[in-house]
Amino acid sequence: MDFQAAANWLWWAVNAASTSPLVTALVGAVVGGLFTMWATKQSLKRTEFAATKSREMAEQKAGVERQIIVYNTSQLILVEV
Protein backbone atom coordinates (compact mmCIF):
# COMPACT_ATOMS: atom_id res chain seq x y z
CA MET A 1 0.00 0.00 0.00
CA ASP A 2 1.51 3.28 -1.02
CA PHE A 3 1.38 6.47 1.02
CA GLN A 4 -1.46 8.03 -1.00
CA ALA A 5 -3.65 4.96 -0.58
CA ALA A 6 -2.90 4.84 3.15
CA ALA A 7 -3.69 8.54 3.53
CA ASN A 8 -6.95 8.12 1.62
CA TRP A 9 -7.93 5.12 3.75
CA LEU A 10 -7.10 7.01 6.95
CA TRP A 11 -9.09 10.04 5.77
CA TRP A 12 -12.07 7.82 4.93
CA ALA A 13 -11.84 6.09 8.35
CA VAL A 14 -11.74 9.40 10.21
CA ASN A 15 -14.71 10.76 8.26
CA ALA A 16 -16.69 7.56 8.77
CA ALA A 17 -15.91 7.52 12.50
CA SER A 18 -16.72 11.18 13.01
CA THR A 19 -20.22 10.74 11.54
CA SER A 20 -20.91 7.47 13.35
CA PRO A 21 -23.52 7.63 16.14
CA LEU A 22 -21.48 5.07 18.09
CA VAL A 23 -18.40 7.29 18.11
CA THR A 24 -20.52 10.29 19.02
CA ALA A 25 -22.00 8.33 21.94
CA LEU A 26 -18.57 7.18 23.08
CA VAL A 27 -17.15 10.70 22.96
CA GLY A 28 -20.18 11.95 24.91
CA ALA A 29 -19.73 9.22 27.49
CA VAL A 30 -16.04 10.04 27.92
CA VAL A 31 -16.71 13.77 28.28
CA GLY A 32 -19.59 13.13 30.68
CA GLY A 33 -17.47 10.71 32.70
CA LEU A 34 -14.62 13.20 32.96
CA PHE A 35 -16.99 15.95 34.07
CA THR A 36 -18.57 13.66 36.67
CA MET A 37 -15.14 12.67 37.96
CA TRP A 38 -14.10 16.34 38.24
CA ALA A 39 -17.35 17.32 39.98
CA THR A 40 -17.01 14.45 42.45
CA LYS A 41 -13.45 15.48 43.23
CA GLN A 42 -14.51 19.08 43.86
CA SER A 43 -17.37 17.93 46.08
CA LEU A 44 -15.00 15.72 48.07
CA LYS A 45 -12.61 18.65 48.56
CA ARG A 46 -15.45 20.83 49.87
CA THR A 47 -16.66 18.05 52.18
CA GLU A 48 -13.17 17.51 53.60
CA PHE A 49 -12.76 21.26 54.13
CA ALA A 50 -16.09 21.48 55.95
CA ALA A 51 -15.22 18.48 58.12
CA THR A 52 -11.87 20.01 59.01
CA LYS A 53 -13.51 23.30 59.97
CA SER A 54 -16.13 21.47 62.01
CA ARG A 55 -13.43 19.55 63.92
CA GLU A 56 -11.49 22.75 64.57
CA MET A 57 -14.61 24.50 65.87
CA ALA A 58 -15.43 21.52 68.13
CA GLU A 59 -11.90 21.58 69.54
CA GLN A 60 -12.12 25.32 70.18
CA LYS A 61 -15.50 24.91 71.87
CA ALA A 62 -14.13 22.12 74.07
CA GLY A 63 -11.17 24.35 74.99
CA VAL A 64 -13.49 27.21 75.96
CA GLU A 65 -15.65 24.86 78.01
CA ARG A 66 -12.56 23.58 79.85
CA GLN A 67 -11.52 27.16 80.60
CA ILE A 68 -15.00 27.91 81.97
CA ILE A 69 -14.87 24.82 84.19
CA VAL A 70 -11.42 25.79 85.50
CA TYR A 71 -12.63 29.36 86.14
CA ASN A 72 -15.77 28.20 87.94
CA THR A 73 -13.78 25.70 89.99
CA SER A 74 -11.30 28.39 91.00
CA GLN A 75 -14.16 30.67 92.02
CA LEU A 76 -15.64 27.92 94.19
CA ILE A 77 -12.27 27.31 95.82
CA LEU A 78 -11.90 31.05 96.53
CA VAL A 79 -15.35 31.19 98.11
CA GLU A 80 -14.60 28.28 100.43
CA VAL A 81 -11.25 29.67 101.49
Give the tens place of pLDDT for each residue, 8-67: 888 888 887 777 788 788 888 999 999 999 999 999 999 999 999 999 999 999 999 999
pLDDT digit string, tens, across residues 12-27:
888 877 777 887 888 8
- Provide the pLDDT for residue 1: 60
Apex 11 CA angle, 7 and 14, nearest 5: 140
Q: What are phi and psi of 11, to 5 degrees?
A: -60, -45
Pairwise CA distance, residues 66 & 39, whole Å: 41
